[in-house]
Every structure is written in C-alpha cells, then in structure tokens.
Structure 1
C-alpha cells in the first residue's frame, strides 16, 4: 500500500520546478498534480503541496472503505470527511459535487464521533485515483513561505521564496545529519527557507552589504543562522550539500572565468550541489568534473527571463 498521497498545485511557469522537486523530495517522476508514495515528509516542506493524506485504508470499492471506517478508532472527539476529488487528478476527472458529497456523507454516517464541518479536531479524506479508493487523515499546508515574501532587505533579481524553498528540498530532500552551505547566499532567501524547515545551513557571501542584509533578514523572521563574510575560495571545511545561486546581479556580478572558479570550488567543498543560473553551465560542469543528475528551466511570469536549475554530483 502507498502510505501517503500529496496534492500539488503550481503556476504554469513553475511546472518544471515543481516536477523537479517531486523527483527529489518524493522520489516520483510521473509529473502529475498528485503523488502516491511511501515517502513521508512534512506537509509544509513543499511550496507546491496543498494537502497530505496519510492513508489508512485503500480498496477497490467505497463499500470496503465504509467497512473499515465503521471499525476505526481514533482519539479526537469531532471530525469531518473531505473528498479530494474536487479537481482532476491526472487521468481521473474531477468528480461532480453530488458525487463528492455522497462519498463524504456515506463515510460520515458510519464514523464514530461527532461531525463538525467548520472546526473539526480531525479531518479524514477520501480520494479515488489510479483505480482505487483511498481513505486517511488529512493535513493541509500552512504555506509558511508566504510570510517570507516581504523582507526588510531584498533586490529585484533575488530568488522568490517558492523557488528558494523548492531548491532546498531538491538539494537536501533528506536533510537529517547533512552539512549544508550556501556560499553565495546574497540576501539570504535560501537561508530563511532552510532555517524555517529546521534545516541547519551556513551562509556565506563576499559582499559585506548583502551579507549584512542576509543576517538581518534571518533575524527578522526569528530564526538563528550564521552568515560568514568571504569568498567561496576561503571555505576550508567539507559539506554534504551546497546550494549556489550564481552571481550575476548588480551587487555581485561575475565574469565567465569567475563563475567557472565558483563551480570548481563548489566541486571541492561539497558532494552534491544545486546550482541556479541564467545561462547554460554544462561546459563549466564538465571542466569541474561534475555530473548533472537533473535540471529544469523556470521562466519568470510572461517575461523572457528564465533561470536554469541543475542538480550535480
């Protein structure tokens, strides 16, 4: 049995980013707006996950789910049942309101406890996808990253919070015990997202102004993190993961030779690196001895500006 069902939602220009995150965070390469997996991650990790269903039972018929629900024991006093077929899920079309309501009522009538549609202590979910009914506990994402969109210090070319959060998940899907560094951290967008997920990360930047801005942004959101001043060349310790948004803006622009030097240094200090760039870097990766495991292109709205994301080892 697949233990978890995740519902995804993304903007049109974020589809490649969302799929890239799915492949690394949830080990799923189907590219659908949902994921069925045995991988358990916090519902608030991904900026694209809206609902997580921890599956308790799956069956070919709703009647079998009803039989399970009749015998189910849980701790909370009040509950509600929510149909998750309110949108098309891959090849499974959206279910009509009456069909969803019937499934909710059928289950609600047999679950022990007091129904509460507005403020339930527990929400159960029912979904039909890939030929099976699946029933379990629902968790809705809080979209923590939304609070990070407005920072005391920022600039127009910085990564947006959704991309930064997804980038952390792509680079360090299982962060327990990993040593993570952002050696070109800028104003700290990646640092804030990592720290908000309780992922320890060291920040570093060679520009005093932006390093200060990064420290202030971290403190503004109530997190504790370290931002060192200095170039990547001065990093002496080794890390499991590095996340690098290649310098190209007004504060810390870099020539092709300088960018190549950063890539070479990244190969020296980290086993796995997630890069963000505005032009192809395959020649640099070849020179540095990196293997590109995965990549995606993210376009900014309707503009011609796009970013390239690479996962390298």
Structure 2
C-alpha cells in the first residue's frame, strides 16, 4: 500500500446543501478551508474527516489525475499489489454539464474496468479499502474514498428536547466555524440550554464546557451528553461570572419568552465574553451589530441560517 500513500496530490470534497443552508455551508467552508465555492466540489490540501461537516458527502484522497481513463489505468497497472481487499466506487460529479454526465450502466462498467487494473483482491460486499474514480472538467481523478457519516442525524434522538434549541445540523456547522482546527482549543458554551452544541463538539473530540443561568435546563444538558456516552462539565451560572479563559465562546443569545434580554443585558454578556474568550461566535435572531461593536468585539465573518420563515444570524467575532 506504500505506493498509494506516497503520491497524494490533494483532497476532493463533494458538498450538498439546501439553498436556505448555502450561507451557513459557505461560512463553514471559509472557516475550515479558507475559501468558499459556488459549486459542489472543493479541492484542498487540508485533510479533515468528512463526517465533521453536515454538508460534506465524501472525501477523495487524490492519488492520480489523468486526461482520460486510459491514463489512470496505465498508472494503476504499475503499482505493487494491494494487500487489503478493495472496491472501486464511481463518484458522480453534479457540476458536469448534461452532455458530460455518465449513466448508471456506464458507471458500473468503469468501476469494473478500473478495478481490474489494480493488483489485489476485489470484495464488493465488505471491502477493507474503498477507491474512487471521478470525472472532472480537466479529465479524471483516482484516489482513496472516505464516505461521510451523518453523525449529527443520530443526535436528533436525544432524550431531552427544547423547542428553541438549534438543530443538530446547524449546531455541528457552528462548532466547525468556531473551531476549524480544534487541537489544543478550549471552548465554552455559556448559554448551553439542553446541550445541542456541546454534544456536537464532544462527538468531534473537542474540549468544551457548558454553562447556563437556567437551572431547569442543566439536568437536560447533562442527560443528553451522558446519553451519547460523552463527558463534559456543565455548571449553573451567569456568563458574567465566568472567570477562566477560553479560546472560543459559542453564544446562542437567549430569546424565548422566559429569557427576554434588554440591550443592556446583551451588552454585558458580550463584554464578559470579550474578556474570557479570544474568539466569539454569536447566534442571534436580532440584528445586534451595534451592541457587538460597543462590547469591543470585531465582526470578521457572518452568515444566516434559515428554516422556513425563521432566520438566525451566525456572527464570528474577535
């Protein structure tokens, strides 16, 4: 397998999102990869687990690029034997024009033709390795294939629910926006509610703690975290009383009938966050730019997340 590991050229990610999610999807792209795209395919030198994002469908670790399938086949013939069982998957490119799209029967034929060029044992049912072949505008690419798992979808079945909580899909994207490179990063969700953000961050191995002023939601947050086998500190307390320092704070501004905040309270919350966190990601249903500025925070990026007639703003501040 060394030949496959030594010749990696780049990583191809395929994306899928609804139109009302595009703004959020693109902000996540900018956070992780430093740029966004209008197409469904992003190429980068940055490797991330595709299951981190609710919008990434799969990742191809590109080994070969060729102008035609014959170029790919010739290079595959020269490689040493693959020790593990494998399968070749044809990955569809939704950006191709209608006249360039390849039908189901032809895709299966290409999988078989490419698979026959690889020295090793094919296993169509339970392969140890997956390889991908994909048509792009410049020709063809071949590489290792990693399919994304919709982990966030499993987290929808949490035992404790809250009517105004973020969806697990949106929460997962926000966590990636907050900590695109999470190694060594300490996060806090000081208005954690029933722990939707906490569960998504913990499922990605992030170092995060939760806090909330509402004593009624603390047991639910702890219960949801424990339900999925995670562990994190969740304490009762006001954001204005946080004394430890964190790299990032994710603040979903309270807005339900029991948590009506005055502009003065909002300002105090954000002023406190500016003191204990280097970076602040704010989720709000109101336009609070003037309050953010008054708190001494600088807006560096933003997007909107829509669901029906309901719109949230996600604002990244430093």
Instruction: Name the TM-score, length of structure 1 as normaliser.
Output: 0.93
Q: Which moved more, 1:58-67 or 1:235-244?
A: 58-67
Deviation, 1:311, is 0.9
The structure-2 alpha-carbon separation of the partners of 1:76 and 1:278, relative to structure 1 and needing over 3 Å to count, comes to farther
The DSSP-based 3-state class of the residue aligned with 1:250 is coil
Structure 2 CA distance for aligned equivalents of residues 55 and 235 of structure 1:
46
For the Cα contact (< 8 Å) 2:193–2:218, is it kept in 1? yes
The DSSP-based 3-state class of the residue aligned with 2:132 is strand
Show structure 1 runs of 5+ residues with no match. none
Structure 2 CA distance for aligned equivalents of residues 48 and 273 of structure 1:
23
**Equivalence map 1:118-157=2 (5 Å):** 118-157=125-164
Is residue 214 of structure 2 the alignment partner of residue 207 of structure 1? Answer: yes
The DSSP-based 3-state class of the residue aligned with 1:296 is strand
Aligned length: 310
Deviation, 1:59, is 2.4
**Equivalence map 1:63-212=2 (5 Å):** 63-73=70-80, 75-85=82-92, 87-89=93-95, 94-212=101-219
Once the two structures are superposed, what CA deviation does each residue of 1:208-257 show, in whole Å capped at 9, x if it has no partner?
A: 11122111110111100001111111111211111111111134332222
The structure-2 alpha-carbon separation of the partners of 1:90 and 1:27, relative to structure 1 and needing over 3 Å to count, comes to farther
For the Cα contact (< 8 Å) 2:82–2:119, is it kept in 1? no
Q: Which moved more, 1:168-177 or 1:95-104?
A: 95-104
Once the two structures are superposed, what CA deviation does each residue of 1:46-91 show, in whole Å capped at 9, x if it has no partner?
A: 1111111111112223222112211234654322211112x41376
Structure 2 CA distance for aligned equivalents of residues 24 and 55 of structure 1:
22
For the Cα contact (< 8 Å) 1:60–1:131, is it kept in 2? yes
Q: Which residue of 2 aligns with 1:310?
A: 315
For the Cα contact (< 8 Å) 1:76–1:121, is it kept in 2? no
Structure 2 CA distance for aligned equivalents of residues 172 and 256 of structure 1:
28
Is residue 279 of structure 2 the alignment partner of residue 256 of structure 1? Answer: no
Q: Which residue of 2 aligns with 1:16?
A: 23
**Which one of 229, 233, 241 corresponds to residue 226 of structure 1?**
233
The DSSP-based 3-state class of the residue aligned with 1:298 is strand
Give the CA RMSD over aligned residues.
Answer: 1.8
Q: Which residue of 2 aligns with 1:293?
A: 300
Structure 2 CA distance for aligned equivalents of residues 239 and 108 of structure 1:
49
The structure-2 alpha-carbon separation of the partners of 1:90 and 1:62, relative to structure 1 and needing over 3 Å to count, comes to closer
For the Cα contact (< 8 Å) 1:247–1:259, is it kept in 2? no
Structure 1 CA distance for aligned equivalents of residues 59 and 257 of structure 2:
41
Show structure 2 runs of 5+ residues with no match. 1-7
Is residue 66 of structure 2 the alignment partner of residue 34 of structure 1? Answer: no
Instruction: Name the TM-score, length of structure 2 as normaliser.
Output: 0.92
Structure 2 CA distance for aligned equivalents of residues 247 and 74 of structure 1:
58
For the Cα contact (< 8 Å) 1:76–1:122, is it kept in 2? no
